[in-house]
Amino acid sequence: MHASSTLVWTPGSWKSLPAHQQPTYDDQQAVAAVLSELSKLPPLVTSWEVDRLRQQVADAQAGDAWILQGGDCAESFDECRASNIASKLKVLLQMSLVLVLGSKKKIIRLGRIAGQYAKPRSKDTETQGEVTLPSYRGDLINSAPFTPDDRRNDPKRLLQGYARSAQTMNYIRGLSEGGFADLHHPENWNLDFVHGSDTAQRFQQIVNSLGDTLEFINAISDSPLREMERVDFFISHEALHLLYESALTRKSIRDSGWYNLSTHFPWIGERTRQLDGAHVELLRGVRNPVGVKVGPGADPQEIVELVRRLNAENEPGKVTLIHRLGNANAEEALPELIETMQRAEQKVLWVCDPMHGNTVSVESGKKTRHFEDVLGEIKASFAVHRDCGSYLGGVHLELTGENVTECVGGSAGLTEEDLETAYNTNCDPRLNYAQAMEIAFSIASEIGS
């Protein structure tokens, strides 16, 4: 086995390194056939888009932009539906409008969408009563129902995942290009179920004042505001399944290097960010901006080494560190992480994920998150970055445009009993519309202050 620091990078160089959280398949011929097909299909995004996003992440590092990253914990193939996709876009567009107006900065919209189909699991198996079966690893690998057939890893799912991602991306592209995304018509982003709620009214006030401003600008300007009629919307997912990710890792057609063209922004999860591990090896060779999740147990010096491995040239925009320390740990653990990175003079963008360090189980066994912890970690992170002379440049949220009851708290006062009403997540609990908007209003005042 090699140490990755001495390896020459190729799209397959990760294969000689330890790879965590990978599914095993019974039929190797079927796997080979699927990968051969996958590697011939067209990419889902282009190298030009990826370069544009890397430049925007560099702008965020310089303090001129802010990233709003959000979506499901795990997408499912069955939920690849127009209404689901549009609702998610609506929430992210509403939130980004609140953030733009509060911060006066460019907001980079980055969905956890169009490929978020593979999940790391803490256990390989799940036991219910007398029966033990393989864990559900996401729709890219197996299926959620607790039957032997559903839980069997099926390589054909890699092609289905590619197709679902392409279908989702196609609709997102259409919606972002005009009409729906037009800032002159933010009423397109209203969600049916929120009519009359406090959050909807608060958003409406913003829309009304924006309408006046746009009318004014239109009146004094000869050219229509084309830039207001469309939005940039980028996609991201955890680059977990290495065979899938490397089949979509391609040399760009203009010879500007290698890119993971399954998504604009792949990230490495907390469980697979080993310095000499396969995930870091695969992503160190691509031009994409790359995210790395950093949990409370991380050794700051090791994170510096990791950033160096991923970004040997210390290029702006390349690495985003997404800290997910938990509300109870953020104030304690974050300063050392930031200061160690500052001493190493490594360029990174800091993003706060206030979800994954704040998951708790309630008596019924359901996982939830307290809104107060989510907001608390965001506020603590802003304060620590400010104290350290650093810049918090984004947030990473699990949220949905559906009217779910998965996280407790927030101004609607959801309780543990409410978790029984609309708990629909395939994996971790997500913020619902009102909770997500409340977070956006709070962040806007933090960035603006």
Q: Which residues bind ligand PEP (CB under 6 A)?
A: 73, 120, 238, 269-271, 293, 324, 356, 428
Nearest to 325 by CA among 386, 419, 396: 396
Q: Choosing among Co ion, ligand PEP, none, which partner's interface includes residue 120 (Cβ < 5 to 8 Å by kind)?
A: ligand PEP
Three-class DSSP category at 103: helix
**Minimum CB distance to Co ion smaller for 183 or for 352:** 352
Segment holding 249, helix H or strand E? strand 249-251
Cα end-to-end span (Å), the chain: 51
From the list ligand PEP, Co ion, none, partner contacted by residue 270 (C-beta under 5 to 8 A by kind): ligand PEP
Question: Looking at 69-77, 102-110, 177-185, 199-207, which segment touches Co ion (CB under 5 A)?
Answer: 69-77
Is residue 109 a contact partner of residue 232, using CB atoms and an 8 Å limit?
A: yes
> CA–CA distance from 173 to each of 138, 179, 235, 254 (Å)?
25, 12, 11, 22
> Smallest distance, Å, CB 114 to ligand PEP?
15
Shortest reach from residue 186's CB to Co ion, in Å:
29
Give the CB-nearest residue to ligand PEP: 269
- Angle (CA) 254-259-262 rounded to 5° is 120
* Cβ atoms 354, 328 nearer than 8 A: no
DSSP string, 260-286: ETT-SEEEE-GGG--TTSHHHHHHHTS
**x-or-dash string of contact with Co ion, 410-429, rule CB under 5 A:** ------------------x-
Residue 269 interface partner, choices ligand PEP, Co ion, none, CB cut-off 5-8 Å depending on type: ligand PEP
Query: Considering the complex, what minimum distance in angstroms separates the CB of residue 253 from ligand PEP?
Result: 31
User: Smallest Cα–Cα separation from 377: which of 333, 419, 429?
Assistant: 333
Site for Co ion in 213-232 (CB under 5 A): none
- Residue 102 binding result from ligand PEP, Co ion, none, given CB thresholds of 5 to 8 Å by partner type: none
Selected binder of Co ion within 73, 140, 283, 325 (CB under 5 A): 73
Nearer Cβ to ligand PEP (58/118): 118
Choose between 238 and 402: whose C-beta lies nearer to ligand PEP.
Answer: 238
Amino acid at site 245: E
Which among Co ion, ligand PEP, none contacts residue 293 (Cβ within 5 to 8 A by kind)?
ligand PEP
Considering beta carbons, is residue 250 or 356 the nearer one to ligand PEP? 356
| Distance of alpha carbon 106 from the chain centroid | 18
Closest by alpha carbon to 169, among 46, 58, 286, 289? 46
Q: Which does 318 bind (CB under 5 to 8 A by kind): ligand PEP, Co ion, none?
A: none
Nearer to ligand PEP, 229 or 302 (CB): 302
Size of interface with Co ion, in residues (CB under 5 A): 2
Query: How far does CA 429 lie from the centroid of its chain?
Result: 15
Q: What are the helix (H) ranges across 106-258?
A: 148-151, 156-176, 198-220, 242-247
Residue 245 touches which of ligand PEP, Co ion, none (CB < 5 to 8 A by kind)?
A: none
Site residues (CB under 5 A) for Co ion?
A: 73, 428
